[in-house]
Amino acid sequence: MEYRQLGRTDIKVSAIGLGTMTFGEQNTEADGHQQIDYAVDQGVNLIDTAEMYSVPPRAETYGSTERIVGSWLAKPGNRAKVILATKAAGPAAVLGVKHIRGGNCNLDRANLFAAVDASLQRLQTDYIDLYQLHWPSRATNFFGKLGYQHRDDDQSVPIEETLDALGELVKQGKLRHVGLSNETPWGLHRYLQLADTQGLPRVASIQNPYSLLNRSFEIGLAEMSIREEVGLVAYSPLGFGVLSGKFLGGAMPPESRIARWSRFARYTNDQATRATEAYAAVAHKHGLNMTQMAMAFVLQQRFVTSVLLGATKLEQLELNIASASVTLDSQVLSELDAEHRQQPNPCP
């Protein structure tokens, strides 16, 4: 397993990280512990979760993923084995998470303090290595939204207040480092500017979607990421499993998230299907496993610090982690780029 520097911190994280959002919904506590054990045995040291998980977000399962991760961390010796990352939910209206703190989960001081304390309790630890803001407080483009529309009357929490509160939590020792998620170039720039001018914590990473079906990170954020040393922690590298090829030919595995919940239709439009078919042809031509080709493509990007993978079955996890040893040559990369130009970013 390769290990990469987390921003400008003294932490190195595995190139592959374990995403856990299925724990508590599609996976039991025993399943979750088995997955973490296997991942750690393979050299994975980054475990990523969120207060909102499991998914889809429901009041009945709120915090269940953190509790499952926490019961694993509580076993003797386990906490020291991993870099623990979690996230604070943003404004409730965005994903309909009105069950989180009574629907008042803006990124202000009171809410962040409450969120951190609750996560620490569920995770059964006294510190979090990387604390991320799950989505922005302001109205902007994320979760597939296109067509930016500015709001002069935006009542969001000022970024200064958010970062100042995180700074207090770092001083208290509850957080080691902070990160962003589902952010824009302007948002990342503003956080970095405040860190430089106000002596506040410097963002170490940004967790956004990135895959063969969504390369929008390359437009603006990739340059920011490299020049400012704020690496991408990429989520959805397989587009909810679409890039494994398991949905080709109209197949719809009944246990898949896409089949079970309509809210996960982001990667199933006609353009995505055409693009996936083209990528499958490239994999077949070069004798590559499609899943591992898609994962390796993300891993080989200079701006990527770690790639988060999630699985409902251990055999999926085994296949995904094995992609760390796959290297795509220049010919494969050239053909993938050619297909991307034919159908650019079908799932933004």
Contact yes or no for 90/100 (Cβ under 8 A): no
Nearest to 244 by CA among 302, 178, 289, 311: 289
Give the 3-state DSSP-derived string for 168-212, with helices as H, strands as E and coil as C. Answer: HHHHCCCEEEEEEECCCHHHHHHHHHHHHHHCCCCEEEEECECEC
Choice among 3, 38, 53, 191 that is catalytic:
53
Write down the number of H helices and E strands in the chain: 12, 10
State CA 95 to chain mean position distance: 16
> CA dist 35 to 42, 207, 235, 255, Å?
11, 21, 18, 18
Count the residues in the chain.
Answer: 348
Distance CA 288, CA 19 (A): 24
**320 C-beta neighbours (distance < 10 Å), count:** 23
Confirm whether 53 is a catalytic residue.
yes
Residue closest to 210 by CA, chosen among 84, 108, 124, 303: 303
- Which amino acids are annotated catalytic? 53
